[in-house]
Structure 1
Amino acid sequence: MSFRELYMHHVSPTLFGVNGDYDSARIVVMGIPFDSAATGVPGARYAPRRIREVSVELETFHPATGLDVEFANVFDAGDLPLVTCVDSLVRVVGRVVEEVYDSGKRIISLGGDHFVSYPVISTVARKTGRLGVLVFDAHMDLRDEYPFDCRYSHATVFRRLLEENSNIEVAYFRPRGWSKEEYLYAKETKRVQVLGDEAEVDDWFRRAENVYVTIDIDAVDPSFAPGTGTPEPFGLHPDTVRKIIEETFPRYSQKIRGLDIVEVNPLVDVNDVTSRLAAKLLMYALVGLLPYLG
């Protein structure tokens, strides 16, 4: 029995109602319902289920490519069991991701708080050469400890990844919530950069060897994405994120190793607009990847 079969439990509905076959699928979706590392309003553990539920209510046909995501050969592996222990999360996620990655597939993860990215990216980094991580996030998540004496939380995730993986470089797209500690660390480490526009993102993709994309929904302005635990004013317009996905994913699909979307909190959402936004961004990501993966 594989780790995927051992740990994952099937869900209904699947993301966009996909019904692909694992062996032939090039992309595998997995839910990670974990929010024990969050410091804001809890509830992100409910996001994988809610994003899937609203995804089947959305139109999934993309006229420009002729692709209907509902009928794409994407395998939804279901959700990991609900755990509250960071050590268990890291161990279980690492095993499943390694197995999926070794089978030559791309991984799309549904969080969960932003700490769920840590075991996924760590595992992918061990399997690649240089790995560039493109981060859409209101915050830097570069704290050393947050809250006090806690080294593994959603506010420390990229600090730990950079410290523990010398082959990782991190690029943020227009973050807006900095602490002085994070600012000084970013300047000191030399492996952190901030991108200010779409042209800089394209240039970053062009120079990267391998890419992982992580989307914290609080990167988007809370007027468009109220359903998140740590909202921050003056955020991105969702169309900016969509445009970057539509323009870079097809061009650089062979470099992209994985993607996640995190920090959606259905408990504080309004009419599911944040879950729907997350689902729609995932649809554009699939449209950008599927036709080019062979």
Structure 2
Amino acid sequence: MFPGARDADPASAGERADYVVVGAPLDVSTSFRPGARFGPDEVRKFARTFEDYHPSSGTHFSELGVTDYGDVHAWNDAAEYLDYLEGVLTDVHWNDAIPLLVGGEHTVSVAGVRAADPDVFVALDAHLDLREDLDGDPLSHSTVTRHALDVADEAVVVGARSGNEHEWERATESDVTVVPPEDAADWTPDVDGDVYLSVDIDAADPAFAPGTGTPEPFGLDSATMRDLVREVAPESVAFDVVEVNDRDDGQAATLAAKLLREFVHSHADA
């Protein structure tokens, strides 16, 4: 269970809760370093050391109505899994709670976006994720932003520094905004409507979070990611943090867990 959260009844996800942690250990399309299946456990484990009190907001995490649904067991059929996961997350929304999805590979965000039906998809990510497919797989972790645009009116990718030529061409269209790492600290969210906030931990420079599937240098520092989450949280109807694996000493999981808590404190405070 995520430290500071309560157990959630799987039959009534979100009931008597304001926020529901849902683990999604999908790890079928990882293209470099596998291990995202261990992400939910790693994030919960490395959250144990944090103080309950949040000095910036003056709130206690354990008093903010967070429950932990546990993990939605993953299997190899990504399409079927995403359909099932979407149903779980839809139940959370129907119970007037905010889902806190913990991956797993970034593909799980597709289910999160479909369940939330946001106006804007905001991703902290090293990669544009605008591919049609990766090696013939249309549900790869490299296609998430493209899938999000099937639901949302626009996408903002903050920290992007990697993509193929076709992705960068697609990113010039009016429904996509790219904020490069060097501009991220000065970016002010100017969004119209409900936001889905997705944090791919590889948005961070590998110096801060080496435990991820496709690390990309020249990325965001952890304090900038914290500030971005705080800025976007008040407009958000759902949150996820993804692509944490077990290939470091807990740096990526610690950052992911802290960003999840920052989201909850900032959202609740607003």
TM-score, L = length of structure 1: 0.84
Q: Equivalent residue for 1:8?
A: none
Q: How far is 1:279 from its partner?
A: 0.8
Indicate conservation of the 8 Å contact 2:20/2:100, yes or no. yes
Structure 1 counterpart SS, 2:99? strand
Question: What is the percent sequence identity of the aligned residues?
Answer: 31
Tell me what 1:186 maps to.
Answer: 171
Q: Per-residue CA shift, 1:64-88, capped at 9, x if unaligned?
A: 3221213431111111012121122
- Counterpart in the other structure of 1:7: none
Quote the Cα distance in structure 1 between the aligned partners of 2:95 and 2:193. 20
Instruction: Give the letter for the 2:267 counterpart.
Output: L
Matching residue of 2:251: 273
The answer as to whether partners of 1:20 and 1:72 remain within 8 angstroms in 2 is: no
* Residue 95 of structure 1: how far off its partner (Å): 0.9
How far, CA to CA, are the matches of 2:97 and 2:269 in structure 1? 14
Supply the AA of the counterpart residue of 1:231.
Answer: P
Q: Report if aligned partners of 1:16, 1:69 keep a CA contact under 8 Å in 2.
A: no
Size of the alignment, in residue pairs? 262
Report what 2:110 is aligned to. 118
Say yes or no: does 1:261 pair with 2:248. Answer: no
The Cα shift of 1:20 comes to: 6.6
What TM-score do you get using the length of structure 2 for normalisation? 0.91
Q: Is the 1:227–1:265 Cα contact (8 Å) retained in structure 2?
A: yes
The answer to whether the 8 Å contact 2:21/2:99 transfers is yes
What is the deviation of 1:285?
A: 1.0
- Secondary structure of 2:107's partner? helix
In the TM superposition, 1:70-149 aligns within 5 A as 70-125=62-117, 131-147=119-135, 149=136
Pick the structure with greater CA Rg.
1
Q: 1:227 aligns with which of 197, 205, 211?
A: 211
Q: One-letter code of the match for 1:275?
A: A
Matched-pair contact (CA < 8 Å) for 2:121–2:155: yes
Cα deviation 1:36-75 (Å, max 9, x = unaligned): 1221211101110111111122223112322121343111
Q: 1:31 aligns with which of 13, 23, 43?
A: 23
Following superposition, which runs of at least 4 residues in structure 1 exceed 6 angstroms of deviation?
none
Structure 2 partner of 1:289: 267
Q: For the residues of structure 2 that align with 1:209 and 1:247, how far apart are their CA atoms?
A: 15
Higher helix share: 1
Counterpart of 1:156, as a letter, is T
Q: Unaligned regions of 5+ residues in structure 1, if any?
A: 1-13
Unaligned runs of 5+ in 2: 9-13
Amino acid in structure 2 at the alignment position of 1:158: T
SS at match of 1:259: strand
Determine helix, strand or coil for the equivalent of 1:88: helix
247 and 70 in structure 1: CA distance in 2 versus 1, 3 angstrom threshold: same
CA distance in structure 1 between the partners assigned to 2:188 and 2:27 by the alignment: 29
Q: Which amino acid aligns with 2:245?
A: N
Q: Which residue of 1 aligns with 2:192?
A: 208
Query: Could you tell me which residue of structure 1 aligns to residue 11 of structure 2?
Result: none
Residue 99 of structure 1: SS of its match in structure 2? helix
